[in-house]
Amino acid sequence: MLQPSKVAGIVSIVLLVLAVISRWPYGFYTFLRIVVCGTAIWLGVEAYQLRKVPLAWMLGGLAVLFNPLFPIYIHRAQWRWFDFLALLALAISVVMLRPK
C-alpha cells in the first residue's frame, strides 16, 4: 500500500505532466501551485526526518518556487522548464523516500 505522501507526490507529478504537455486556463496553474507547494513541504519534512538533508533543501526550494501566497511571476514558456524540473525532483523524491 502506498503512503499518503507518495500518493500526493504522484498526484503532483501527474499535474506537472499535464502542465508541461498542454496549455491550461490560469485557474489550473493556481491549483498546481497549491498542490505542488503542499506536496513539496510534506515530502521535504519527510526527507528531513529520514536525514536526507540535501533532498529536503531541494524540496524546500521547490516549495518556495511554487508557493501560492507570494507567487513568482515568470513567462509561460519558462514555467514549462520549471514544471519539468519540478516533475523530475518530485519523481526522484518519491523514489528516494523509503522509511527504514
34-87 pLDDT tens trace: 999 999 999 999 999 999 999 999 999 999 999 989 988 888 888 899 999 999
CB within 8 A of 41, min separation 6: which ones? Answer: 59, 60, 63
Q: How many CA atoms lie within 13 A of 78 on its CB side?
A: 5
DSSP assigned state of 51: T
pLDDT number for residue 100 = 60
Phi-psi region of 10 (alpha: psi -120 to 50; beta: other; left: phi over 0): alpha
- Predicted model pTM: 0.89
For residue 99, give the C-alpha cell. Answer: 522509511
How many CB atoms lie under 10 A from the CB of residue 31? 14
> Per-residue pLDDT for 92 more than 70?
yes
More confident residue, 14 or 4: 14
